[in-house]
Amino acid sequence: MDSVVVGNRRFFVRRVGTNAKNASAFIRHDEIVIRIPVHWPREEGFKAFLDLQRKMTKKLEKNPLRSGTAKIRFTHGQKITVLGKPFEVTVTEGRSRISKGRINNGLIQVELASGLPDGKKAEHVSNLARRVMSRQVLPLVEKRVLELNAKHFGFTLRRVFLKETMSRWGSCSESGNINLNFALLFAPPDVLDSVIIHELAHLKEHNHSPAFWALVKKAMPNYDDVRRWLKDNSATLGSGVPVGSVE
């Protein structure tokens, strides 16, 4: 497997096949994942692979925060309010071989697997708390997406997902799914709206053409100001979320 070194970190480069029309790439923890359409000729696929590897390496070099493994961390006793909903995290040692997370009246209860190494405990707590929290607030996010779509666009969309991604604030799939970065739940409401509007506009314009920006600016005239806030404050969202991008 190929790899590149940025600063003092090594990123493995992984090529995967896709049925999509276009090649794409993203950063996931210590990997640069490059998707190449399986129907492309071998030479065209190889050329696209090298080009995307070079572009992703430059992005990492330009903005080191994009390459961080930092995530939103949750700890025992932590109290958080997300979209108006209060949560509190509690952590206990369990007897099961599997760590578990559940919620009861806003209390997120994380039970760590028996014998879990100390170095893995913080990761399990944060991942489980995030998953439980996402399930609770996803209906509110879906409602907001539907409201903005009905008000400004009226496009056909399928599903909405909350994900903790390392390099994007949002994305839109060819099948009509909207993906939103979990960290946006800790941003002001108009910031979340701006990313939703950005991705909804992509349901019609699958690029960043003048037609695309016309749709965005018509729905949110102050989009540039909101996006500037996101750029300036992204590193502190949720206590250390890495910088992302709207694509």
Q: Which residue, 67, 91, 122, sits at the end of a domain? A: 67
At 161-183, the pLDDT tens digits run 998 876 678 988 888 999 999 98
pLDDT, mean over the chain: 87
Structurally, how many domains does the chain consist of? 2
Same-domain status, 134 and 34: no
**pLDDT surpassing 80 at residue 53:** yes
Which residues 6+ apart lie within 8 Å of 116 measured at CB?
Answer: 99, 124
At 11-35, the pLDDT tens digits run 889 999 999 889 999 876 668 899 9
Tell me the CATH number at 114: 3.30.2010.10
- Quote the pLDDT of residue 238: 65
**Mean pLDDT in residue range 83-94:** 93
- Quote the pLDDT of residue 239: 53
Same-domain status, 92 and 117: yes
**Mean pLDDT in residue range 197-209:** 93
Range of the domain at 26: 2-67
Q: Is residue 132 part of a domain?
A: yes
Same-domain status, 109 and 221: yes
Same-domain status, 202 and 136: yes
Q: Which residue, 43, 67, 91, sits at the end of a domain? A: 67
At 110-165, the pLDDT tens digits run 999 999 998 889 889 999 999 999 999 999 999 999 999 999 999 999 999 998 87
154 versus 233: the higher-pLDDT residue is 154
Q: Is residue 177 part of a domain?
A: yes
Q: Which residue, 10, 32, 67, sits at the end of a domain? A: 67
Task: Classify strands 31-37 and 79-82 as parallel, antiparallel or unpaired.
Answer: unpaired
- Quote the pLDDT of residue 133: 94
- Quote the pLDDT of residue 241: 40
**pLDDT surpassing 90 at residue 199:** yes
d(CA 126, CA 89): 10
- Quote the pLDDT of residue 125: 93
- Quote the pLDDT of residue 113: 95
Beta strands in the chain (DSSP E): 2-6, 9-18, 24-28, 31-37, 79-82, 85-93, 100-104, 107-112, 160-163, 170-172, 178-181
Residue % of the chain over a pLDDT of 70 = 87
Same-domain status, 135 and 185: yes
69 versus 76: the higher-pLDDT residue is 76
Residues belonging to the chain:
247
Say whether pTM exceeds 0.75.
no
Q: Is residue 241 part of a domain?
A: no
Same-domain status, 62 and 91: no
